[in-house]
Amino acid sequence: MATIVGGLGLSHVPAIGGAIKRHAEHDPYWRPFFDGLPPIRRWLADTRPSVVVMFYNDHGLNFFLDKMPTFAIGAAPEYRNADEGWGLPVQRPFRGNPELSWHVIEHLVAQEFDITMCQEMLVDHAFTVPMQLLWPGIAEWPVAVVPIAINTVQHPLPSPGRCYKLGRAVGEALAQWTGKERVAIVGTGGLSHQLDGKRAGFINKEFDLYCLDALTNDIQALTQLTIPELVELSGTQGVELLNWIAMRGALPATVEKSHVSYHIPISNTAAASLLLTEPAAKSREQAA
């Protein structure tokens, strides 16, 4: 079976990619955010995952309002990036793992999820920026990837509870996989923000901090929220929290918060990073 080494939540604001492009990570504006990443990078160096399964949301590069799947999974040998108009460098292709992707797809369909299967798929900043944050300045991506896109753009959106069940089914599929891949589960986006309308610039620090704790200790409370409640609490774009909830669903029932950072604002967004791992006591028991 594949081994899930842990779960990561990361912001994916395009402006972060711009800061990386300008080498502005140590500028006073950006430093509080980037200073939260070294513990995660050290963890990755220690655990050495071979695959990243990433829950993210497409912003129009691969899907648009005329055709917007609720859940879409890549099953391609590679995934290319393209110019989105943000002025960000186009990233080199990401290596896929089609066999693992199809195994996950088949399990999800058997669990009555209606999945869009993508044998060609472009990935946008919601995917590329987190990868740059996790492995900065490298010549070759060290992992294969399985991209899973969740609709957070065109209503009706899937509920937090449905996204959690999606993640749980992905975790089940990985547990049944006969390969020996070491898998990091990543959820990207947010946290709270709203880009338009009367609440443009909205950030809800209290709710963000609650979510960062609930993802560890009370995920069921988050799954009970409706989409209108989530919009009210986190903003219209803050619904990207659905990606973090799906990430949490793929992890074991009990996890511990190994690292967390939170900073506001980045652009007009609440930015965070989170590392969830198996409780240390359980890891020691298994090693023994």
Active site residues: 125, 193
246 and 168 in contact (C-beta within 8 Å)? no
Whether residue 77 is preceded by a cis peptide bond, meaning omega within 30 degrees of 0, is no
Peptide bond into 134 cis (omega under 30): no
Q: Residue 9 class from Cβ within 10 Å (0-12 exposed, 13-18 middle, 19+ buried)?
A: buried
Burial 108-139 (b: 16+ CB within 10 A, else e): beeeebebbbbeebbbbbbbbbbbbbbbeeee
Q: Pick from 106, 7, 105, 121: which is nearest to 54 by CA?
A: 7
d(CA 245, CA 230): 12
Calpha distance 64→28 (Å, rounded) = 36
CA-to-CA distance for 232 and 81, rounded, in angstroms? 32
